[in-house]
Amino acid sequence: MPDDADVIIVGAGLAGLVAAAELTAAGKKTIIVEQEPERSLGGQAFWSLGGIFLVDSPEQRRMRIRDSYE
């Protein structure tokens, strides 16, 4: 694991992922540490939705929320 990160984020839930995205966009080097396996990326939000994330759902389209798999 690199030891030259500006920020270490504990937890790869939605808050941790958003924090990492924002910090990376601001030019900070980030490391995310997570106790769960990679397939559980997203934390409790992943499990709240039954283990799936919805992308470009009918509800998102109805609310004009643009979303993609990227």
List the domain range (segments joined by +) for residue 40.
7-62
Please state whether the predicted TM-score (pTM) of the whole model is above 0.85. Answer: no
Place of tokens 């995205």: 21
Asked if residue 2 lies in contact with residue 31, where contact means CB atoms within 8 angstroms, the answer is: yes
Domain count, the chain: 1
The reply to whether 28 falls in a domain is yes
Task: Count Cβ neighbours within 10 Å for each residue of 39-62 and write b for 16 or more, e otherwise.
Answer: eebbbeebeeeeeeeeeeeeeeee
The reply to whether 67 falls in a domain is no
The reply to whether 33 falls in a domain is yes
pLDDT values of the chain reduced to their tens digit, one per residue, 70 residues: 567 899 999 999 888 999 999 999 999 999 999 988 887 777 777 666 665 666 777 877 888 887 766 6
d(CA 1, CA 43): 21
The reply to whether 70 falls in a domain is no
